[in-house]
Structure 1
Amino acid sequence: MADPATAPFAPGSVSIRIYLHDGLPAPEIVRHELAQAKRAVEVGFDGVMMGEHHGGFPGYIPNTIQTAGWMLNAMPHGWVAPAPVLLPLKPWALIAEEIAWLSAAFPGRVGFGAGTGSWQADFDIMELSKDDYIETYHRSLGLIAKALRGEAEGEFAKDWAIIHCREAPVPLVTASATPRGVRAAAANGAGILFESMTAPERLRELAGKYRDAGGTGPIILIRRVWMGEGTFGRQDKQMGVYRGYGSDTTAQYWQGNQLINGEADEVAERLAEAARDVHADAINLRIQVPGVQPDEMMDQIERLGPMVAKLKAMWPWA
């Protein structure tokens, strides 16, 4: 088993998000994904996350669980978490099986993040109705959470990897930005993955609701960073994409570009302040948006290494 200090989503951990570089041949895209994940843990990141969308949605990965396996095989150490995986798009049992067997293959190095999804094209591509997708998500979340603790029922409970989860549960977080979402996370023993667009005061309120509901898992804050001069134009463009399909419920709390840029000391201090502001106890960093080239991404990973060391030295926030 992995050291608890470096387990997926552990308090004090600093992880990175990996995205696709659009417009390249698929084999080149995969090569860059794996090289970036490998280098990230070599320079000091604890783990890697990636999010799901389909149909060539800019930057996102359609096969997150499969990609997690490729990354784990390429990385000398560190953890990987497909986060979020969009639960309404697949049968819950299939998701649980794939994650449980991946965890069996890479003990202590696999985490899992659940999300609802809201982009209509994802549902169209999968030939699924979007009707009641929120209810589908909540039902699937409960069943997957039980399975990844080794508490599945019926025939499904006979799966060997699910049985193994009794002694080696898979850490679970949810990409939640609503009161109902954080209460569901608490009820299912999951942590929280807070996205990068919602205003800090709203996230702090949701963190309080999560703890009040009995949530004991990690609260992970995603933040956009850039070492040196910022890429504000490219960041603003990506935020516009999200605004084009985000739900009104969550979008009402979004605010302007929260990109953190500068040199190592400044970026570490601002990230620590951001985490304290929302009562987060781990950080997940996003560098890439469409337009960022592979050589820029790798340069940023290299430059972030010293910053990550400075940021970790500031734990715990309390």
Structure 2
Amino acid sequence: MRIGLFLPAAQFPGQSHAEVLARTVEAAVEAERAGFDGVWFAEHHFMSYGVCPSAVTLAAYVLGRTSRIAVGTAVSVLSNQHPVALAEQAALLDQVGRGRFRLGVGRGGPWVDLEVFGTGLARYESGFVESLDLLLAALTEERITGTATFPFREVPVVPRPLTGPPVVVACTSAATAEVAARRGLPMLLGMHAGDEDKRAMVEHYARYGPPDPGHVAAGVAHVADTRAEAQRVLRTAMPRWLGPGLAGYVPVDDRPRRPRDPEEYAALLCRIHPVGTADDCVATLTATAERTGVDHFVLMVDGTGDPALTRENIRRLGAEVLPRLRG
């Protein structure tokens, strides 16, 4: 079983951007010391849900601060950027990171980002497959030519990847799962999905793609001396982030949007993910792996927003949970 950290750079009330980013980098460095397999950063724009607008940039910095751990994006949003530019950055990090970089990509949403960056609603609604295929071409071929949305003459791709950074695709629908499957790319399943939803996505994927490509599932993890204490801590802290954070998703058009209730969402995350004693965390992750077939997890460990509690959580998970899962 592979266990990594999912670090969205969540901003809690009263925290500066500098404090959030320092906590995020500190967590990544602590993860390597604690024995985790990887750290994954999220891309968000114009919101406190996550204050990292470039997961690739933050991944590059953390590659320089670490020596062993894999470093990835969960995810870089294809609807906001040129896929060849992202492929160039990924190839560069694959080279200088000596194969430690992982590239997670996603469709994103119908958010105001599309207006700010000038990519437009069509890139979100119908352009994901074209963008993904051009990205993959730039990571696997020596020369590429443009497409209908991205017209350009044939060019060489420089630099070439060292290993070809592993690509995973964020999947929240059966249609996207099928896109990933037909290209043999593993899925990244969101932390909102319970075991039944994950299993359904994995089964749908298997109808069109390889049986075990190495899917990744995001979740939340917090270890304490009792299950009640672990859940109390997160159910108290996380709504303070989720409330203003989720409100930052602003549609680019007039489509209605009903945000999740932050307290209900925090309760759901505590219920379906490893939140409790070390025994609880081992049991939850083992059961999820058995039910879904997924054995690679990336866990949000800074759900309190407190740097000291985050460090303690990482250390306890590393010492009390990881060895038992791997054994």
TM-score by length of 2: 0.81
1:113-128 → structure 2 map (5 Å cutoff) = 113-118=104-109, 120-128=111-119
2:171 aligns with: 176
- What SS does the aligned partner of 1:83 have? strand
Aligned mates of 1:227, 1:36 — CA distance in 2: 15
Aligned mates of 2:324, 2:238 — CA distance in 1: 25
Code of the residue aligned with 2:312 in structure 1: it is D
Greater mean alpha carbon deviation, residues 275-284 or residues 91-100: 275-284
Aligned mates of 2:8, 2:46 — CA distance in 1: 14
2:235 counterpart of 1:232: yes
| Residues 204 and 269 of structure 1, relative CA distance in 2, 3 Å threshold | same
2:268 aligns with: 256
| Residues 127 and 146 of structure 1, relative CA distance in 2, 3 Å threshold | closer
| Residues 42 and 69 of structure 1, relative CA distance in 2, 3 Å threshold | same
Aligned mates of 2:18, 2:237 — CA distance in 1: 25
Residue 25 of structure 1 deviates from its aligned partner by: 4.3
Which of 49, 53, 62 is matched with 2:53 structurally?
62
1:107 aligns with: 98
Aligned mates of 1:292, 1:25 — CA distance in 2: 12
- What SS does the aligned partner of 1:131 have? helix
Aligned mates of 1:152, 1:267 — CA distance in 2: 47
Residue 208 of structure 1 deviates from its aligned partner by: 1.0
| Residues 236 and 198 of structure 1, relative CA distance in 2, 3 Å threshold | farther
Q: 1:164-209: per-residue Cα shift (whole Å, max 9, x none)? A: 45xx211010110211111111222311111111232222111011
TM-score by length of 1: 0.83
Residue 132 of structure 1 deviates from its aligned partner by: 4.7
1:160-309 → structure 2 map (5 Å cutoff) = 160-162=158-160, 164=161, 168-215=163-210, 216-228=212-224, 229-230=230-231, 231-235=234-238, 242=246, 256-257=268-269, 258-289=272-303, 292-306=305-319, 307-309=321-323
Code of the residue aligned with 1:300 in structure 2: it is N
Aligned mates of 1:15, 1:43 — CA distance in 2: 11
Aligned mates of 1:185, 1:152 — CA distance in 2: 23
Q: 1:186-236: per-residue Cα shift (whole Å, max 9, x none)? A: 222311111111232222111011122123421111121111122124345
| Residues 295 and 188 of structure 1, relative CA distance in 2, 3 Å threshold | same
Aligned mates of 1:80, 1:18 — CA distance in 2: 11
Code of the residue aligned with 2:283 in structure 1: it is E
1:7 aligns with: none
- Equivalent residue pairs, number: 294
Unmatched 5+ stretches in structure 2:
146-152, 225-229
Residue 300 of structure 1 deviates from its aligned partner by: 1.0
2:227 aligns with: none
1:43-58 → structure 2 map (5 Å cutoff) = 43-58=34-49
Residue 278 of structure 1 deviates from its aligned partner by: 1.7
Greater mean alpha carbon deviation, residues 32-41 or residues 174-183: 32-41
| Residues 152 and 274 of structure 1, relative CA distance in 2, 3 Å threshold | farther
Residue 27 of structure 1 deviates from its aligned partner by: 4.2
The higher radius of gyration belongs to 2
| Residues 288 and 110 of structure 1, relative CA distance in 2, 3 Å threshold | same
- The question of whether the paired residues in 2 share the 8 Å contact of 1:54 and 1:125 is answered with no
Aligned mates of 2:201, 2:54 — CA distance in 1: 30
Greater mean alpha carbon deviation, residues 121-130 or residues 218-227: 121-130
Aligned mates of 2:220, 2:164 — CA distance in 1: 30
| Residues 62 and 293 of structure 1, relative CA distance in 2, 3 Å threshold | same
Greater mean alpha carbon deviation, residues 299-308 or residues 149-158: 149-158
| Residues 238 and 137 of structure 1, relative CA distance in 2, 3 Å threshold | farther
| Residues 259 and 152 of structure 1, relative CA distance in 2, 3 Å threshold | same
Q: 1:10-52: per-residue Cα shift (whole Å, max 9, x none)? A: xx32110123253544444443322211110110101100111
| Residues 256 and 56 of structure 1, relative CA distance in 2, 3 Å threshold | closer
Q: 1:47-105: per-residue Cα shift (whole Å, max 9, x none)? A: 10011111133234101101101001001311101121110000111111111111111
Greater mean alpha carbon deviation, residues 180-189 or residues 62-71: 180-189
| Residues 143 and 209 of structure 1, relative CA distance in 2, 3 Å threshold | same
- What SS does the aligned partner of 1:81 have? strand
Which of 282, 292, 311 is matched with 2:325 structurally?
311
- What SS does the aligned partner of 1:66 have? helix
Aligned mates of 1:260, 1:232 — CA distance in 2: 14
Code of the residue aligned with 2:68 in structure 1: it is H
| Residues 152 and 196 of structure 1, relative CA distance in 2, 3 Å threshold | farther
Aligned mates of 1:150, 1:233 — CA distance in 2: 50
- The question of whether the paired residues in 2 share the 8 Å contact of 1:53 and 1:122 is answered with no
Code of the residue aligned with 2:316 in structure 1: it is R
